[in-house]
Structure 1
Amino acid sequence: MMNSMIITIIIMLFILVQVPGGDCFVQSRATYYPNSDDRGTEIGSCGFGAFGATINGGDVTAASNLYRDGVGCGACYQVRCTDAAYCSDKGVTAVITDSGASDRTDFILSRGAFGRMANTKWSAQCLLSQGVVDIQYQRVPCSYPNKNMIFKIHEKSSNPHYLALAIWYQQGLKDITALLICEIQNFKCKLMDRAYGAVWATTSPPCGALQIRMLLSGNDEDAEETWVVALNNIPENWKAGEEYDSGVQIN
């Protein structure tokens, strides 16, 4: 009898391992941007600018609750519609680049991303004609092969008085919850504030070449926090609008 129970438990554990995240999907609704092309918007509230319309091949989304006052910017979600007649099992992976809600939806997808939930091109047209569809979603790791995280200096920055930046191409499942900027020469550091969305800013930044340290946090209260240090520094003569390769990536 005991052996039979042990075998049953092992089988159940095996099944659970074989179906990772099977119970992680959340039921909701999604719609899409009314613009005429397949991309997202270039004026999204995450502060990514034109990059926010083209990242991830244009498969981007605005979110309501998942925006989380900007913490959710750059997070990736698998979104799939639920009508088996039109929808694929895989759905689409979309990146949050904006905030917004419409008719009890959690996602306002780019037109292209909305259509890519379908199982055929004809089905995509049917979904688009509906405008709003029932969906399931779950958070998934972002993936940007052969890309390091990029520090994009905001256009309103002014060296040496004001520094604002956004982080592009963040992989993985972690959120960036704090940013520390340090002067290399004497290691004078300063915490940056989240100005809005994915944009971090500070007045009177440290002088000289700058090192960026990022605090990563998981999705729940018990998740471990980790500091990640950029391998490449932001040069002393940094300029508004420039992009600097961090030399690191998160997996």
Structure 2
Amino acid sequence: MELGFRHQLGLVCVILLFPALCNCKQYFTKSRATYYGTYDGYGTPSGACGYGEYGRTVYNGSVAGVSGLWRDGAGCGACYQVRCRIPSLCDMNGAYLVATDYGQGDRTDFIMSPRAFSKLGRNKGASETLKKYGTVDIEYNRVPCTYTSNVLFHIKESSSNPGYFAVVILNVNGARDITAVEMWQRRQQRWEGLRRSYGAVFDFANPPTGEILLRFQLGYNNWMQSKIPIPANWKPGATYDTKLKIY
């Protein structure tokens, strides 16, 4: 049986549109999640990513330690949507959180702050019931991070030794990992790589005097360079605005 022209055209349109329709669907991975306790419900400043106080309060304290998603620290700063799987108790949108720490136990992918875990429930009563479960079945999906401010460079307090420089990069939007950080060497007129010391902390021995210009790689082929250098009189524990915003 031969198809008429209109039927053929309609079939072609369906074939062309089908991949786009498929790509619009979000795919969630099934896992388990639990939570840890803090006095105020926020995260912990001692997280293994090295974020310090930022790792306690970012996303209004909706943070988590991850295990399989840790990836030797490359998973630090990744954002996720996490939904629990008890229809009578669980909110359909769940919690949006940031990975700021390493944590594992009881076959979980997420050990969440109390604030993050409470967002799994449909209401306050449901959230309290979920906390009594302790560990719940969940599904999760990586989502782009959404910060309104510029990317920041935070100089770690360990950089008090003049022969050592360590930095952590904050407020990186999107859904790509920071895979490398490089420092411009004026004398050699070249970029030189920093070492991933631990978590999201990158360091460099014997940094150059004067201003420090950094760039970082998102994924494997996208370099982002700060619009202004870190000033020559940089201080350990200080945070500097890059004037760079990622959309």
Same fold (TM over 0.5): yes
Aligned-CA RMSD value: 2.1
Counterpart position of 1:134: 137
Detail structure 1 runs of 4+ shifted over 3 Å in the superposition.
2-6, 8-21, 183-189
What is the TM-score of this pair, normalised by structure 1?
0.90
Counterpart position of 1:101: 104
Counterpart position of 2:123: 120
Residue correspondence of structure 1 range 62-73 to structure 2 within 5 A:
62-73=65-76
Aligned-residue offset at 1:187: 3.9
Aligned-residue offset at 1:105: 0.4
Task: Check the 8 A contact 2:181/2:202 in 1, yes or no.
Answer: yes
Residue correspondence of structure 1 range 47-58 to structure 2 within 5 A:
47-58=50-61
Work out the CA distance in 2 between the residues paired with 1:107 and 1:12: 39
Deviations 1:82-109 (A, max 9, x none): 1110111111111000001110000001
Aligned-residue offset at 1:183: 4.4
Counterpart position of 1:162: 164
Q: In the superposition, relative to structure 1, how do residues 16 and 116 fare at CA in structure 2: closer, same or farther (>3 Å)?
A: farther
The residue identity in structure 1 corresponding to 2:233 is: N
Higher mean C-alpha deviation, range 151-160 or range 68-77 = 151-160
Counterpart position of 1:181: 183
Higher mean C-alpha deviation, range 203-212 or range 131-140 = 203-212
Pairing 1:153–2:155 present: yes
Aligned-residue offset at 1:34: 2.7
Q: What fraction of aligned residue pairs are identical, expressed as a percent? A: 40
Work out the CA distance in 1 between the residues paired with 2:157 and 2:58: 19
Work out the CA distance in 2 between the residues paired with 1:108 and 1:9: 47
Aligned-residue offset at 1:47: 0.3
Counterpart position of 1:208: 210
Deviations 1:191-229 (A, max 9, x none): 110000000001111221111111110xxxxxx511111
Task: Check the 8 A contact 2:26/2:141 in 1, yes or no.
Answer: no
Q: In the superposition, relative to structure 1, how do residues 78 and 186 fare at CA in structure 2: closer, same or farther (>3 Å)?
A: same
Q: Indicate which of 193, 196, 213 corresponds to 1:194.
A: 196
Q: In the superposition, relative to structure 1, how do residues 57 and 107 fare at CA in structure 2: closer, same or farther (>3 Å)?
A: same
Counterpart position of 1:221: none
**If you compute each CA radius of gyration, which structure gives the higher value, 1 or 2?**
2
Aligned length: 244
Aligned-residue offset at 1:118: 1.1
Task: Check the 8 A contact 1:184/1:210 in 2, yes or no.
Answer: no
Work out the CA distance in 2 between the residues paired with 1:105 and 1:5: 50
What is the TM-score of this pair, normalised by structure 2?
0.91
Counterpart position of 1:81: 84
Which segments of 5 or more consecutive residues in structure 2 lack a partner in the other structure?
A: none
